[in-house]
């Protein structure tokens, strides 16, 4: 049975094993040849010794044949191109200088797929490549240690999210449509598609469907799924197809779901902080302390003004403002109590605070580098929600499927959406969001 490189140790000295993977490196020292095999877990060293073929006449024929076989094996291994896929059977020999403290003395070597002599990029990390080159040959880029570790951590993050929400908090995982008839928030940031005899769109968010489920009795739901935004950004933090963790909770306000969000983020940080591959990325991760700092929108505007960043009250926080604010705060934090005009129609006005409909119970979760998540308490009154839709210049008729459940008993509820890629890039100190997406989609990239 095939073993991963890291499943074998020096304690297996003398054992017969089978490994398979890619030819990572080759080193020819004349009489000794080293082939380093790479699989998902790590590296294994294959060591061959060259016989000079000067056997004495009195040697037995069987020994001569064995030497010839070893010589043939040596030549075949020496000639195989880097990044070819091979399978090796042999004996384990303890060797403290080799990866994982052992080497394999091969008895059988099979080339399963021979690679071209000229490679799209170097997988050892010794020769760098531009990001576009790496994305064009993503299959090869994923063979490098750094990129591999990023996506193993991405898998770990999604696992941690599911364990926190499902096992620890009792949430129900859902799947909502990605082809829809109406925009979640209105506007033009939509990808239209031809849907038989009529027009449809790729969904911007599962927001409307999450809220519909609040009327069903499924009072704690979440989804991890793609979202689509037809925004013409071309920056290091924007994508046109991204992955979002979306949560909705019934009988809850914004404070309840903010607590869930910060505890989830801290749990993810804690899980990743213990991952051995983090050190190979050169990242030291500190688990953020709870609770995260709360900064009201008014306080944020004042802090920005003090830092020389003037914004009009009611404006959203742009990239420059996010950076200025992040430099001053220096940790994960929430911006709360947003102007109603800045947030979507479903954000609940904070009438209880004496602000009428000027302020809403909405929040953004911020990393010092950028926004990570956005959420709010939702409007659960049919009449108010319909009016809010129309005040945004939208047609209530287009949202009839969404409004209908609000007529028949809709509990108070709240929720948020968290960007997986932004969480990853800030945790791992990655500069470009495309590095944490297997096959990114932006204005210029539609393949691979």
The CATH number given to whatever domain includes residue 90 is 2.40.50.140
pLDDT exceeds 60 at position 197: yes
Rg for the chain (alpha carbons), in Å?
A: 29
Tokens of 299: 């306080």
Same domain for 205 and 90, yes or no, is: no
- The predicted-structure confidence for 106-126, as pLDDT tens digits, reads as follows 999 999 999 999 999 999 989
Q: Say whether both 97 and 234 belong to one domain.
A: no
Shared domain check, 251 and 383: yes
User: Within a domain: residue 122?
Assistant: no
Quickly state the pLDDT bin for 186 (edges 50, 70, 90): low
Question: What is the CB neighbour count within 10 angstroms for residue 381?
Answer: 13
CA–CA gap between residue 87 and residue 17 (Å, rounded): 11
DSSP 316: P
Instruction: Please indicate, yes or no, whether residues 40 and 175 belong to a single structural domain of this protein.
Output: no
Distance, in Å, from the CA atom of 424 to the CA atom of 422, rounded to the nearest integer, reads 5
Q: Judge whether 194 lies within some domain.
A: yes
Q: Considering the domain boundaries, does residue 120 fall inside one?
A: no
Per-residue DSSP letter, 366: E
**pLDDT-derived band of residue 58, with 50, 70 and 90 as boundaries?**
very low
Beta bridge partners of 173: 222
Please state, in angstroms and rounded to a whole number, the distance separating the CA atoms of residues 424 and 427. Answer: 5
Mean pLDDT of 33-46: 96
CB–CB of 211/378 below 8 Å?
A: yes
**For the chain, what is the domain count?**
2
**Domain of 397?**
138-436
Shared domain check, 151 and 101: no
Query: What DSSP line would sit under 36-104, residue for residue?
Result: EEE-SS-EEEEEEE-------TTS-HHHHHHHHHHHHHHHHHHHSPTT-EEEEEEEEEE-TTSGGGEEE
pTM given for the model: 0.92
pLDDT averaged over every residue in the chain: 93
Q: Tell whether omega for the bond before 291 is within 30 degrees of 0, i.e. cis.
A: yes
| Structure tokens, 391 | 């005040």
Residue 87 inside a domain? The answer is yes
Regarding whether 142 and 42 lie in a shared domain, the answer is: no
For 216, the token pair is 């069903």
**pLDDT value of residue 233:** 87
Mean pLDDT of 286-309: 96
- Does one domain contain both 173 and 78? no
pLDDT at 195: 95
The single-letter DSSP state of residue 288 is P
Q: Does residue 108 sit in the same domain as residue 156? A: no
Task: Say what the pLDDT of residue 181 is.
Answer: 86
């Amino acid at each position: 049975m095939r073993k991963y490189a890291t499943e074998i140790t020096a304690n297996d000295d003398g054992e017969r094993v089978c490994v398979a993977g890619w030819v990572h490196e080759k080193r020819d020292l004349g009489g000794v040849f080293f082939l380093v095999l790479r699989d998902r877990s790590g590296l294994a060293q294959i060591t061959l010794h060259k016989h000079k073929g000067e056997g004495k006449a009195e040697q037995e024929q069987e020994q001569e044949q064995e030497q010839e076989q070893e010589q043939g094996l040596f030549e075949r291994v020496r000639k195989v191109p880097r990044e070819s896929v091979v399978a090796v059977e042999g004996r384990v020999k303890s060797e403290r200088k080799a990866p994982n403290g052992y080497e394999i003395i091969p008895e059988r070597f099979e080339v399963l797929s021979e690679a071209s002599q000229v490679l799209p990029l170097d997988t050892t990390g010794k020769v760098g490549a531009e990001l576009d080159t790496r994305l064009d040959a993503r299959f090869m880029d994923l063979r490098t240690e750094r990129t591999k570790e990023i996506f193993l951590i991405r898998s770990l993050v999604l696992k941690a999210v599911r364990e926190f929400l499902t096992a620890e908090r009792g949430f129900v995982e859902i799947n909502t449509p990605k082809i829809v008839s109406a925009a979640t928030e209105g506007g033009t940031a939509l990808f239209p598609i031809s849907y038989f005899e009529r027009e449809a769109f790729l969904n911007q968010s599962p927001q409307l469907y999450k809220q519909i489920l609040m009327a069903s009795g499924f009072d704690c739901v979440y989804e991890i799924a793609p979202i689509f935004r037809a925004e013409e950004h071309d920056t290091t933090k924007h994508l046109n197809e991204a992955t979002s963790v979306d949560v909705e909770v019934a009988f809850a306000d914004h404070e309840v779901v903010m607590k869930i969000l910060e505890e989830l983020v801290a749990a993810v940080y804690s899980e990743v902080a213990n991952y051995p591959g983090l050190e190979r990325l050169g990242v030291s991760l500190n688990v953020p302390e709870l609770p995260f700092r709360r900064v009201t929108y008014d306080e944020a505007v004042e802090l920005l003004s003090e830092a020389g960043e003037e914004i009009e009250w009611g404006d959203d926080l742009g990239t420059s403002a996010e950076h200025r604010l992040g430099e001053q705060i220096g940790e994960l934090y929430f911006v709360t109590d947003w102007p109603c005009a800045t947030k979507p129609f479903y954000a609940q006005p904070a009438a209880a605070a004496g602000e009428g409909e000027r302020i809403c119970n909405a929040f953004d979760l911020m990393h010092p580098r950028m926004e990570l998540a956005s959420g709010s308490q939702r409007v659960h009154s049919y009449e108010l929600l319909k009016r809010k839709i129309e005040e945004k210049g939208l047609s209530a008729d287009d949202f009839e499927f969404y409004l209908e459940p609000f007529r028949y008993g809709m509990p108070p509820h709240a929720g948020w959406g968290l960007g997986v890629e932004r969480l990853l890039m800030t945790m791992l100190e990655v500069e470009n969001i495309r590095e944490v997406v297997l096959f990114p989609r932006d204005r210029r990239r539609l393949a691979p």
